[in-house]
Structure 1
Amino acid sequence: MNSAVVNSVVVTGGSRGIGAAVCRLLGARGYGVVVNYASDVDAARSVVADVRAVGGQAVAVQGDVSAERDVTRMFDAATELGPLTGLVGNAGITGDRLARLDEQSVETVRRVLDVNVTGAFLCAREAVRRMSTRYGGSGGSIVMVSSTAAGRGSPGEWVHYAASKAAVESLTWGLAQEVAGEGIRVNAVAPGTVETDLHAAAGAPDRPQRVAATIPLGRAGQPEEIAEGIAWLLSPAASFVVGAVLPISGGR
């Protein structure tokens, strides 16, 4: 790395899927990256190694995004890499099965809402407290990761997950209005069906292939394609974009 100031970004759920692709891309573009992970330390360390291999800076930080103390620790780690200028709120879960809502357990629904909604709130709040000019910060960008499921409702599969992502989009819009005048742009991306282990975690590893026929492009997306949209929203190239939800879905 050269002697220029390195800006840091916290990426939640950064050890796999879309989050890992975001970490690699941002690291290659000169950001210092906090690779947050829930439990798979080996996967997180692998992402850190990938970032460092291209000359970037990264650190893996274990933490549950729904736990306030863990969130604070993630953001503290960012300051060791450089001034905080971004958050990618990517951490999200669906539960362990595809099923109608009346067949889902209350424990599953509560955990999904805790990670996807409470976690998004806690991370966004911490980012604002550190980046807002109201608190002495120099501004920055927040990109939340929603899903096109928020608009479809995902009947028969994961209505609870879709509802959680609709909440993320509402959070994005409301927070964007609150902090735009404080140097922070808040936006979101809404991926469609993407080739990640999210589907296998819900017991349906073949879901991307099954859904592909309903996508105008005829295929599922790749994590790297979503990462490009996120990187754009973080960048100065999106300087007039506030409160947007960018679908990256192949047309579905």
Structure 2
Amino acid sequence: MSSTPRPLTLVTGGSQGIGAATAVHLAGLGHDVVVGYHSSASEAGAVVAAAQALGVRAVAVRADVADPAGVDALFDAAAELGPVTGLVANAGLTAHLGDLADTPVEVVRQVLDVNLLGVVLCARRAAQVMSRRRGGVGGAIVTVSSGAATLGSPHEYVHYAAAKAGVDALTMGLAKELADDGVRVNAVAPGLVRTGIHAGAGDAGRLDRVVARVPMGRAGEPDEIAPAIAWLLGPEASYCTGAVLRVAGGL
């Protein structure tokens, strides 16, 4: 019987959409999972139950990723299960659709805080606890970027696109910074995916309205993004760091 402990992966924004699909997929691969969430306690509980049904340990932790104290609390709760070996920095929102000139400043700030600052803070904490130079066991970080980072998303959410471009830069820079510390850092950049993020921005019908842009002719599903994230976390991607893997149907 192997004495190697199971991977322990923390997934932010893990109660819905890509985060939920990823947490359950990782559980199926034998990861213990920590499901970070902001407000959807019942949905986070359902993800935990689905993960536990696959034979792993799973807990839900409420945290605001844009708050350093919240990030520390999230990682502290994860540490109670053992050394954190993986982070999926997935929490995000668009919050509003429209031209930047018509987007309220408070919305711009919220989007930047969650989609960029939140990823920076979570990646920073992960670097502290995973780095072998700092006493950690090594591991992998996967940030969830977006195809918007290179497309710009004019007339929809250029501030969100700018935040995601920042996530790409963080990914590449941190990968080089942690390369000697036993920590790989990569990103997955989804395109149009059937999640609640569109309804959260006030336009539940957006996906069907713009799906014609996708060369493959359809939106993606969260279950199609999760395996890409899992691959980047796993040993098969051992020589992959600093990459941004686009999973966007050709968009």
- After TM superposition, the structure 1 = structure 2 runs for residues 36-47 of structure 1, keeping only pairs within 5 Å, are 36-47=36-47
CA distance in 2, matches of 1:3, 1:197: 40
Tell me if structure 1 keeps the 8 A contact 2:99–2:154.
yes
- After TM superposition, the structure 1 = structure 2 runs for residues 117-132 of structure 1, keeping only pairs within 5 Å, are 117-132=116-131
* Displacement after TM superposition at 1:251 (Å): 0.3
Please name the residue that 1:216 is paired with: 215
Give secondary structure in 1 for the equivalent of 2:215: coil
* Displacement after TM superposition at 1:82 (Å): 2.8
Matched, 1:243 2:242: yes
CA distance in 2, matches of 1:213, 1:121: 33
CA distance in 2, matches of 1:64, 1:221: 27
Matched, 1:72 2:72: yes
CA distance in 1, matches of 2:207, 2:248: 12
| Deviations 1:165-197, CA, capped at 9 Å, x for gaps | 000000001111100111000000000000000
Aligned Cα RMSD in Å?
Answer: 1.1
Give secondary structure in 1 for the equivalent of 2:85: strand
Q: Which amino acid aligns with 1:19?
A: G
Please name the residue that 1:32 is paired with: 32
Tell me if structure 2 keeps the 8 A contact 1:211–1:220.
no
CA distance in 1, matches of 2:109, 2:79: 32
* Displacement after TM superposition at 1:77 (Å): 1.7
Q: Which amino acid aligns with 1:121?
A: V
* Displacement after TM superposition at 1:213 (Å): 1.2
Q: Which amino acid aligns with 1:91?
A: A
Tell me if structure 1 keeps the 8 A contact 2:67–2:118.
yes
* Displacement after TM superposition at 1:4 (Å): 5.4
* Displacement after TM superposition at 1:80 (Å): 2.3
Tell me if structure 2 keeps the 8 A contact 1:112–1:160.
yes
| Deviations 1:195-222, CA, capped at 9 Å, x for gaps | 0000001111112212221111110000
- After TM superposition, the structure 1 = structure 2 runs for residues 223-242 of structure 1, keeping only pairs within 5 Å, are 223-242=222-241
- After TM superposition, the structure 1 = structure 2 runs for residues 78-97 of structure 1, keeping only pairs within 5 Å, are 78-95=78-95, 97=96
Q: Which amino acid aligns with 1:57?
A: R
CA distance in 1, matches of 2:250, 2:207: 15
* Displacement after TM superposition at 1:236 (Å): 0.5
Q: Structure 1 residues 3 and 139, CA, compared in 2 at 3 Å: closer, same or farther?
A: closer
150-159 or 210-219: bigger deviation = 210-219
217-226 or 203-212: bigger deviation = 203-212
Give secondary structure in 2 for the equivalent of 1:66: coil
Give secondary structure in 2 for the equivalent of 1:84: coil
CA distance in 1, matches of 2:78, 2:110: 26
CA distance in 2, matches of 1:137, 1:88: 17
3-12 or 19-28: bigger deviation = 3-12
* Displacement after TM superposition at 1:56 (Å): 1.8
Please name the residue that 1:172 is paired with: 171
CA distance in 2, matches of 1:243, 1:10: 20
Give secondary structure in 1 for the equivalent of 2:71: helix
CA distance in 2, matches of 1:3, 1:33: 19
* Displacement after TM superposition at 1:3 (Å): 7.3
Count of residues in Structure 1 that have an aligned counterpart in Structure 2: 250
Identity %, equivalent residues: 56
Please name the residue that 2:101 is paired with: 102
Structure 2 unpaired stretches of 5+: none
Matched, 1:6 2:6: yes
Tell me if structure 1 keeps the 8 A contact 2:131–2:178.
yes
141-150 or 52-61: bigger deviation = 52-61
CA distance in 2, matches of 1:44, 1:68: 21
Please name the residue that 2:137 is paired with: 138
* Displacement after TM superposition at 1:81 (Å): 2.2
